[in-house]
Amino acid sequence: MLELAILGLLQETPMHGYELRKELATKLGTIRAAISYGTLYPTLKRLHTAGWITESASDPSTVPPMTSKRGRVVYKITAEGKERFADLLAQAGPETYDDAGFGVHFAFFARTDQATRLRILEGRRRRIEERREGLRDVLARAGERLDAYTLELQRHGLDACEREVRWLEELITNERSGRAPATPGSFELPTTESPHRVAGDTSPQSPRPHEDRP
Amino acid sequence: MLELAILGLLQETPMHGYELRKELATKLGTIRAAISYGTLYPTLKRLHTAGWITESASDPSTVPPMTSKRGRVVYKITAEGKERFADLLAQAGPETYDDAGFGVHFAFFARTDQATRLRILEGRRRRIEERREGLRDVLARAGERLDAYTLELQRHGLDACEREVRWLEELITNERSGRAPATPGSFELPTTESPHRVAGDTSPQSPRPHEDRP
DNA sequence: GTTGCGATGTATCGGGCCGATACATCGGGA
DNA sequence: TCCCGATGTATCGGCCCGATACATCGCAAC
């Protein structure tokens, strides 16, 4: 899952680890608060070994501070990495439908073809519907076996499931009619190709994402 | 986290692994669909080594089928295990406030003292509020840097956060006024002591929980 | 009858991911 | 000057998961 996210971000622009972690935090903030370095660096090493990315010492001319010595490592996606990213984006297995997997895939929907988007949304919906049915069964059949707190937990979970199903229904409907997600304030077109650098972006080189609160 | 859940369930009644997994699925259905055996058995081994539980071959007289040969292993909590459970229930660290940790603790709130319940609910609320603020920042500051799908993901996450905060507020209010969770159809009293075997339960020995859909 | 399948049941293995930890540099304020 | 917080790279132990293997039981189809 991390692999997909990293390749996706590096496709936009090369980065070093620290930066990558922050971008991951903003892009996947809903899924996972912040990626641990204990995950990030081994994953980067794995991607490098596989040939999807290259590691290189930072170019001192473009990067202002840190007068070398123990320089930063800049990671850059390779052509094979881009292929790999496309493959991962297109395929939708069972792991694509759990919370983490779905979130990552969804975050890159702008670069996913519509058929795959629809497949993923429907798979996710089925997954959530199953969870919902399980909770309904528990609440109906085992209502008296569980204490009030456990019941409240199930009820809250059931509510979240129903809400997410509705959300997915809406997205699926929009998707079928060829519209972008229903963003009340936004009027962007369906954008079949990567719109991640929008006209009007005033910070073309250093994005400076939101602060990382530790 | 698993440790707490297992000790909690074994405190109700001794069980073997398969049964334990199903009970965990119903009790923690909102948190985690089903515990993997690759998690369950090593954890049981760990608990046994630590002395919190005992392992013993199933008594053929009480258990109907499975005429021994490769018998089931019945796990039973020890006195030390009960102490351990009480300790885990009472302490509330940072890991108590993430999704999984909070869910497990909440599921055993019926056996948690009120002060701890309040502490955990407030800790969780703070955690979610922080996540919410992070999402708000992203939506406000980086609104034009992200594509429509990513924004929609953030918006949905923000909505879930706001909803959960409201839910927690309500629980906290109830907790402070000494009431049980606001269960519209239920009239159980606060139940300061374990109410997990309610009068009127018609299946005192074999609970037969909800089916495990694979 | 026997054959085969689904539910019950125990167990291991490789691997992903996390939190804690260590270490080093840089800019700026006390 | 001196320390602190942000930046930055990296490892280690440990939890947990999915896949897999293996064995028994009850039942239904053939």
Consecutive 10-residue averages of pLDDT for chain B (214 residues) = 95 93 90 90 95 81 48 91 95 90 96 94 94 89 82 94 96 87 52 43 40 41
Contact B29 A207 (CB under 8 A): no
* pLDDT at residue B59, as a whole number: 57
Contact B148 A180 (CB under 8 A): yes
Which tens digit of pLDDT belongs to each residue from A10-69?
A: 999 999 999 999 999 989 988 887 899 999 999 999 999 999 999 987 655 444 444 445
Closest CA to A82 of A61, A120, A118, A51: A51
Cβ contact A212 with chain D strand, < 7 A: yes
Tokens of A16: 């070093």
* pLDDT at residue B98, as a whole number: 92
3-state secondary structure of A126: helix
CA of B38: nearest nucleotide by C1' is: D17
Q: How far is the CA of B66 from the C1' of C3 (A)?
A: 21
Amino acid at A90: A
* pLDDT at residue B163, as a whole number: 96
Q: Does residue A77 contact residue A58 with C-beta atoms inside 8 Å?
A: no
- CA-to-CA distance for B150 and B96, rounded, in angstroms? 29
Terminal-to-terminal C-alpha distance of chain B: 23
* pLDDT at residue B69, as a whole number: 54
B111-119 contacts: CB < 8 A, separation 24 or more?
A: B111/B8, B111/B193, B111/B194, B111/B196, B113/B192, B114/B175, B114/B178, B114/B192, B116/B89, B116/B90, B116/B92, B117/B175, B118/B172, B118/B175, B118/B176, B119/B92
Sheet strands side by side (includes B15-16)? B15-16, B73-77, B53-57
- Dihedral of alpha carbons A184, A189, A194, A200, sign: negative
Residue A24 parent element (H or E):
helix A17-27
Cβ burial of A162 (10 Å; 0-12, 13-18, 19+) is middle
Neighbour tally for B64: CB within 10 Å? 8
Q: Does residue A75 contact residue A53 with C-beta atoms inside 8 Å?
A: yes
Q: Average of pLDDT values for A184-201?
A: 45
Q: What is the pTM of this model?
A: 0.82
Using CA atoms, how far residue B103 sits from B106, B121, B124, B198, in Å, is 5, 11, 10, 22
β partners of residue B73: B57
- CA-to-CA distance for B167 and B184, rounded, in angstroms? 14
* pLDDT at residue A30, as a whole number: 85
Max distance between CA atoms of chain B, in angstroms, equals: 69
Q: In degrees rounded to 5, what are phi and psi of residue A75?
A: -100, 140
* pLDDT at residue A200, as a whole number: 39
Q: How far is the CA of B124 from the C1' of C15 (A)?
A: 31
Q: Which of A107-116, A137-146, B85-94 has the lowest mean pLDDT?
A: A137-146
A142 against A10, higher pLDDT: A10
pLDDT band at residue A183 under the 50/70/90 scheme: low
* pLDDT at residue A197, as a whole number: 44
pLDDT band at residue A161 under the 50/70/90 scheme: very high
Q: Does residue A168 contact residue A124 with C-beta atoms inside 8 Å?
A: yes
Highest mean pLDDT among A181-185, A204-208, B137-141, B157-161: B157-161
Contact B157 A30 (CB under 8 A): yes
* pLDDT at residue B43, as a whole number: 97
A184 against B153, higher pLDDT: B153
Max distance between CA atoms of chain A, in angstroms, equals: 69
B191 against A79, higher pLDDT: A79
- CA-to-CA distance for A12 and B177, rounded, in angstroms? 53
Average pLDDT value for chain A: 82
* pLDDT at residue A184, as a whole number: 55
Amino acid at B106: F
Position A204 pLDDT exceeds 90: no
For strand C, which nucleotides have at least one atom less than 7 Å from a protein CB?
7-14, 16-22, 24-27
